[in-house]
A and B are shown apart, each in its own frame.
Chain A
Amino acid sequence: MTGLGVVIADDARLFRSALAELLTNAGCRILAEVGDADALLAAVEANVPDLAVVDIRMPPRHHLEGLHAAVRIRTSRPSVGVLLLSQYLEVSHLTELVGDVTRGVGYLLKDRASGGDFLNAVHRVAAGGCAFDPDVVSAMLAGPRRRDLLDGLTARELEVLALMAQGRSNQAIAAELSLTGKTVETHVRNIFQRLTLPIESGHHRRVLAVLAYLRSR
């Protein structure tokens, strides 16, 4: 791995340094560790990292300072991947964070940092992909109108759709579900036809379409 440049923003010091250690062990270079949104924006401007890992609640008001800073970074520095960590998930937050661009963005429960998929998500977001927490995706899939429309999908297709919405690539989905790449592609095509979504070639556009569909009211 060619060390990713990472900026970490979290006001909880112990967590921040544990996270830094985890990422360092994984070969990342920690460019800055900061404790609030202003310092985060400054560090991003100064270092232009590959990735910013941002806690959603930060001083001074412990409100949504991290979310707002993340949105600003995504607008002003599109090349910087932004991974937002939170202790609870809300579809509204995801909507605000993602906007119209799924490039280089992630939204995960903070607990995930200790899980096996976390480093995958880090690399995915840093590389311009996306990573959305399974919990927020299943909340979106569980929406009332969704369920009526999703009733036409098979259980396997629903699994594929969920992983796709999390930002996984076809290969990752195939690996996760122990399927061949071709089978996954067939499932994806079926899903798009059932949901009458335009079949997009690019991965990001596909994820965006799925998210937009799931978020649409």
Chain B
Amino acid sequence: MELVGGAPVRTRLRPAPLIGTLAAVGACWGALVLVVTASGQHEGSTGIAFSAAVGGGYLVAGVIAAYRRPEVPAVRIGLLMVLIGIGWFAEDVQISVDPVVHTVGLLLRSASAGFLVHLLLAYPDGVLRTGVDRVLTAVSYTAVFVLIPVSTLSFDTLIPNLLLVWPSPYGVVARAVDGVQFVIGAAVTAVLVRRWVTSSRPARRVLAPLFAVGLFGGSTSVLDALLGTEISWHHDVLVGMTRAAMLALPLAFLSGVWRVRLGRTSVANLLARMPGSPPGRLRALLAQALGDPSLQVGYHRPEHGDYVDADGRPVPLDRAFTPVDRGGRRVAVLVHDPALQDDHHVLLAVASAAALELDNQRLAAEVRAQLAEVKASRARIVAAGDEQRRRVERDLHDGAQQRLVTAALTLRLARQRLVAGADAELDELLRRSAGSLEEALAELRELARGIHPSVLSDLGLKPALRALAARSPQPVELVEADLPDLSELVAATAYYVAAESVTNALKHASADHIRIEVDVRDSALRLAVVDDGTGGADPARGTGLTGLRDRVSAVDGVLTVRGEPGTGTSVIALLPLERP
């Protein structure tokens, strides 16, 4: 099999189907035992149904567990459940009235207990974490599969025990075995109590159902062992309670499996609620989905190689953490309770859901930053263009204009030197040169004004608009309010909007009357140019209005052009006075 766009899946031994097969074999084995021992059951007892329910419960729960958590070592939980089921049926073999079968059954009469101890200690991740756990498990297995079979040699039962070689007086050996079972039970109980006490909240959430049942069954069996296993009312009650616990134990495990389902639901909730959440809320959602209030989200800072939270504080990786990667890039880490690692699947699902959102947030932030940079760069380009125009105007003023003025004056001095009437032709040449110079100066002055009106930088927007109005061949009315100090960029933008609009009104709209309004509204400079011309200005056509719109956008302003044919045109620019 090959995943789309992924690496080929490695073929490897899959434990879950093997465990399923083992459970099927166990089921056959159980059926066989129940059939073979049916004749030995107490009459009217519900023994067969109970045995089938408990054993079958373990087999089914084990298979479900194996399929839910098919990875090593968690899959061992499923395996142990199945082995308990098989062991459970094996314990019933002794019920057979056939001496041979009965004797074999005696050897296996506590088969499930060893697996049960192992399961309790290895739950939920299938690993025996401490030396105590391992020793206790080993002792338990030894007791079940060595001590008890050996004790069979002195175990006297109603149905002939073919291995009985030394019937112990007063059942001493049986009591010794009970004692060993008691010690093991107490030790397991102690370990579980200690584990509960030292566990964090998420870990307890995992342990709770199994521990409740385990402790209940453990206490009843300890009590039973203390009170003696002879036939008595309390033995019946305690055995019944122990058996109820045994029956409930696979159910408790199934509730653990159910809890994993809950985890998946919470991942679905997370996916539904996460998009668009602010970073702080995102952390809360992730903490909720994982049941770990202490969860921290560390955003990756590749340039520093470390992680920070939403407020920029460093997040140390001093606890268990799960990296959140997307597209081969580290996005963040989830720093969480180590117990969450037991729920590897939920953790991975949450991490990949978080990767999606965190990466989206990162991309959104990147886009925002880029947009801000583009805006700033556009404003810089416009400002640089203005500066360039100012410089050209200044260079013309101090350079070419100055030289031409000087040349004209020098020419005049030359003409003065010429004795009147001495050389009429030369005088005429000089006169014509002076005339050309004068025209050149006038043209140069207009050119310089078009490039950048000096009055704008010398005196500001209002005098520049007044000068603009005064130069117009058609009446231009200027309605001006008090203005605050304007940045060069805003003043120049307002001026060019006015100049271009007045030019358009005269050139294209044949306006007779033009009104320029300039005032401040809602901390924005408002510049309006209204004419009574033919209207029909089309911003999409021609570069004049487009250029103005770009200029206005560069200072985060808005340009509105209205004008149906016949109604005149109004051009309104709103320019924010303070840049956001």
Which A positions have Cβ atoms within 8 angstroms of B? 12, 14-15, 18-19, 21-22, 25, 57, 62-64, 87-88, 90-92, 110-111, 113-115, 139-140, 142-144, 147-148
Contact = CB atoms under 8 A, between A and B. Distances in A.
A171 B441 CA distance: 31
Interface stretch (B459-467, B482-490, B554-562): B459-467
B405 A25 contact: no
B375 interface: no
A111 B449 contact: no
A87 B408 CA distance: 13
A96 B394 CA distance: 22
B406 A92 contact: no
* Majority DSSP secondary structure for residues of A touching B: helix
Interface in B394-420: 394, 397-398, 401-402, 405-406, 408-413, 416
The residue in B406, B412, B455 that gathers the most chain A C-beta atoms within 10 A of its C-beta is B406
A113 B463 CA distance: 26
Given A90-B454, A144-B475, 6 more contacts: A12-B406, A15-B405, A22-B413, A64-B459, A87-B397, A143-B469
A21 to B, nearest CB: 6
B470 A114 contact: no
A87 B469 contact: no
Interface of B: 394, 397-398, 401-402, 405-406, 408-413, 416, 434, 437-438, 441-442, 445, 448-449, 454-455, 458-459, 463, 466-467, 469-473, 475-477
B459 A92 contact: yes
A87 to B, nearest CB: 5
A62 B398 contact: yes
B467 A90 contact: yes
Given A88-B448, A142-B470, A114 B409 contact: yes
A87 B463 contact: no
Contacts of B445: 87-88
B419 to A, nearest CB: 14
B459 A90 contact: yes
A143 B470 contact: yes
Contact of B458 (A64, A115, A142, A148): A64
Given A88-B448, A92-B455, A92-B459, A140 B409 contact: no
A43 B398 CA distance: 24
A62 B394 contact: yes
B406 A91 contact: no
Contacts of A115: 438
The residue in B402, B441, B472 that gathers the most chain A C-beta atoms within 10 A of its C-beta is B402
A140 B470 contact: yes
Given A19-B409, A142-B470, A147 B475 contact: yes
Nearest to B463: A92
A22 B470 contact: no
B463 A139 contact: no
Contacts of B412: 22, 113-114
A88 B449 contact: yes
A88 B405 contact: no
Contact of B409 (A18, A57, A139, A147): A18
Contacts of B397: 57, 87
Given A87-B445, A144-B476, A147-B475, A92 B467 contact: yes
Contacts of A144: 469, 472, 475-477
B416 A25 contact: yes
A57 B405 CA distance: 14
B383 to A, nearest CB: 20
Contacts of B449: 88
A196 to B, nearest CB: 21
Contacts of A21: 413
Contacts of B408: 111, 113-114
Contacts of B454: 88, 90
Nearest to A25: B416
Given A64-B458, A91-B467, A12 B402 contact: yes
A87 B434 CA distance: 17
B406 A14 contact: yes
B405 A111 contact: yes
B432 to A, nearest CB: 13
Contacts of A18: 406, 409-410, 413
Contacts of A63: 458
B413 A139 contact: no
A78 B434 CA distance: 35
Given A64-B458, A144-B477, A22 B406 contact: no
Nearest to B402: A12
A90 B462 CA distance: 12
A111 B441 contact: yes
Contacts of A147: 475
A111 B438 contact: yes
Contacts of B477: 144
A25 B412 CA distance: 12
CB-CB nearest 8 A-B residue pairs: A144-B475, A114-B408, A92-B463, A15-B406, A114-B412, A18-B409, A139-B470, A114-B409
Contacts of A111: 405, 408, 438, 441-442
A130 B242 CA distance: 123
A148 B477 CA distance: 12
B395 to A, nearest CB: 11
A75 B60 CA distance: 110
A5 to B, nearest CB: 21
Nearest to A21: B413
Contacts of A143: 469-470
Contacts of A91: 466-467, 470
A19 B412 CA distance: 10
B416 to A, nearest CB: 6
A90 B475 contact: no
A12 B467 CA distance: 27
Nearest to B442: A111
Contacts of B472: 142, 144
A15 B475 contact: no
B105 to A, nearest CB: 112
B561 to A, nearest CB: 23
A15 B448 CA distance: 20
A90 B467 CA distance: 7
A57 B402 CA distance: 11
A111 B412 CA distance: 11
A22 B409 CA distance: 8
A148 B476 CA distance: 12
A58 to B, nearest CB: 11
A19 B408 CA distance: 11
